[in-house]
Amino acid sequence: MSYVEQVLENLKKTNPNEPEFHQAATEILTSLAPVVDKHPEFQNAALLERFVEPERVVMFRVPWVDDNGKVHVNKGYRVQFNSAIGPYKGGLRFHPSVNLSIIKFLGLEQILKNSLTGLPIGGGKGGSDFDPKGKSDREVMAFCQSFMTELYRHIGADTDVPAGDIGVGGREIGFLFGQYKRIRDEHVGVLTGRGLSYGGSLARTEATGYGLVYITEEALKMRGDSFNGKTVVISGSGNVAIYACQKAQSLGANVVAMYDSNGYVYDPNGIQLDVVKDIKEVKRGRIKEYAERVKGAKYVEGCKGIWTIPCDIALPCATQNEIDEESAKILVKNGVKYVGEGANMPSTLAAIEVFLKAGVVFLPAKAANAGGVATSALEMAQSSGRMFWSFEEVDAKLKNIMVNIYHNMDDAAKEYGYEGNYVMGANIAGFMKVANAMMAHGIV
């Protein structure tokens, strides 16, 4: 059995019932086989065994009281996965599906994503099975305050810097920051995605979606093509989806569909983003309302059907495993040429295989959605330097980072003999920097 197979088998045995963690680890470790073949010193130092074992896992109780005086208890998590190249960095997810397996898969991905940005940030992730949907602002605040009353002791501007993810946006970050500041009596950059009035960075809200489009644009450009006139399908209608849509439209693309967890809207005339923003950002409503407000648009209950809409470019921006093998085959049959992952691990392993075999340009999440965390790192730099960059400055840095990520993964794929396979390229390029730092630190 090869070194990679041994590590994977042991990981599955010692972390049972964690399917998402197994999936992410399988994709990553399989890609690293040629690297460990070339570097036998990694095996001697048990580097992969240490790489897949989080440095620290914190799990805690989060009690809170709803508007009717009823007491609720949720689970809180923070997985501090790897700090070899910088303080732990990664988002918090509030969604009823959250469990340790999901937080660990996200944390493991985050290590390599953060490395790919070229900035000094380690990997971490956290969250809760709390569902902010349908809760009042006071209930969300009560939950966030309780969550931070435990989390504060584990984080810090130079230790671990959380941010948003599914269910955690500007409102939640505000409540979390307020409680941290109150307990610690410190106004520091301990969270990113903060509001502009208290240390946030311009362009952080837009960064993940914009970054996704910038890296896809670079992939198109290298093939003599562009977004102009392309039909694009985007899943989700949250932070990442909305700003991916905005940037793709500004480059001349026709975005024809989006969804939320209930169903999708198809608008052949092009999604009217101001309507989506009003429904999702202002009213916190359902995407279904779009079809009631926009003539010529239709709503279909259920999410999966979105992938049957013919498109040139698919940008999955909602959640893990939203594209399975069957959907991937339909996308390919309908002529998809580019898939850029805005969400984390939105394609199953079988779906990825379908895309790669069909010659689809597949931009994996850890590269394609790294613009969000990269801009978080720019927010950290502005916080610690007590300075504030313009939107244009941050946006230009973001674009530059995404273009560099594209070429770094493209070069790494070529170097190891897997030209055009960006799963291999992104994993290898991200891993090498972390591996070198871990080797330099000795057995820790």
Which position among 48, 317, 398, 402 is part of the footprint of ligand NDP (CB under 6 A)? 317
Answer positive or negative: Cα dihedral of 46, 48, 49, 53: positive
| Interface with ligand 2IT, residue 89, by CB under 6 A | yes
Options 11-19, 68-76, 342-350, 411-419: segment touching ligand NDP (CB under 6 A) = 342-350
- How many whole angstroms separate alpha carbon 98 and alpha carbon 127? 7
Of 45 and 275, nearer to ligand NDP (C-beta) is 275
Q: Which does 89 bind (CB under 5 to 8 A by kind): ligand NDP, ligand 2IT, none?
A: ligand 2IT
What's the one-letter identity of residue 290? Y
Instruction: Determine the 3-state secondary structure of 442 from DSSP.
Output: coil
Of 87 and 236, nearer to ligand NDP (C-beta) is 236
Which position among 216, 231, 344, 347 is part of the footprint of ligand 2IT (CB under 6 A)? 344
| Interface with ligand NDP, residue 127, by CB under 6 A | no
- C-alpha 196: how far from its chain's center? 22
| Interface with ligand NDP, residue 318, by CB under 6 A | yes
Are the CB atoms for 334 and 310 separated by under 8 Å? yes
| Interface with ligand 2IT, residue 215, by CB under 6 A | no
| Interface with ligand NDP, residue 101, by CB under 6 A | no
| Interface with ligand 2IT, residue 376, by CB under 6 A | yes
Options 178-186, 264-272, 298-306, 368-376: segment touching ligand 2IT (CB under 6 A) = 368-376
What's the one-letter identity of residue 233? V
Of 331 and 343, nearer to ligand NDP (C-beta) is 343
Neighbours of 69 (CB within 10 A): 6
Which position among 86, 123, 162, 167 is part of the footprint of ligand NDP (CB under 6 A)? 167
Are the CB atoms for 273 and 263 separated by under 8 Å? no
- How many whole angstroms separate alpha carbon 140 and alpha carbon 170? 12
**Least separation in angstroms between CB 423 and ligand 2IT:** 17
Beta bridge partners of 341: none
| Interface with ligand NDP, residue 173, by CB under 6 A | no
* 283 among known catalytic residues: no
Q: Which does 90 bind (CB under 5 to 8 A by kind): ligand 2IT, ligand NDP, none?
A: ligand 2IT
| Interface with ligand NDP, residue 323, by CB under 6 A | no
Are the CB atoms for 304 and 325 separated by under 8 Å? no
Q: Which residues of 416-433 are buried (b: 16+ CB within 10 A; e: fewer)?
A: bebeebbbbbbbbbbbbb
Of 127 and 425, nearer to ligand NDP (C-beta) is 127
Give one DSSP letter per residue of 260-325, joined into a string.
Answer: -SSEEEE-TT---HHHHHIIIIIS---THHHHHHSTT-EEEEBSGGGGGS--SEEEE-S-TT-B-H
**Least separation in angstroms between CB 208 and ligand NDP:** 4
Instruction: Determine the 3-state secondary structure of 163 from DSSP.
Output: strand
Are the CB atoms for 370 and 113 separated by under 8 Å? yes
Of 146 and 376, nearer to ligand NDP (C-beta) is 376
Which position among 80, 192, 239, 382 is part of the footprint of ligand NDP (CB under 6 A)? 239
Joined tokens for residue 262: 């209930």
Of 165 and 312, nearer to ligand 2IT (C-beta) is 165
- How many whole angstroms separate alpha carbon 255 and alpha carbon 248? 8
Of 165 and 322, nearer to ligand 2IT (C-beta) is 165
- How many whole angstroms separate alpha carbon 124 and alpha carbon 149? 19
DSSP 32: T
| Interface with ligand NDP, residue 79, by CB under 6 A | no
Catalytic residue among 104, 125, 230, 399: 125
Are the CB atoms for 111 and 82 separated by under 8 Å? yes
Which position among 90, 342, 364, 425 is part of the footprint of ligand NDP (CB under 6 A)? 342
- How many whole angstroms separate alpha carbon 33 and alpha carbon 38? 9
Task: Point out the residues that are catalytic.
Answer: 125
Q: Which residues bind ligand NDP (CB under 6 A)?
A: 164-167, 169, 208, 236-241, 260-262, 303, 317-319, 342-344, 369, 372
Q: Which residues bind ligand 2IT (CB under 6 A)?
A: 89-91, 113, 163, 165, 192, 344, 372-373, 376
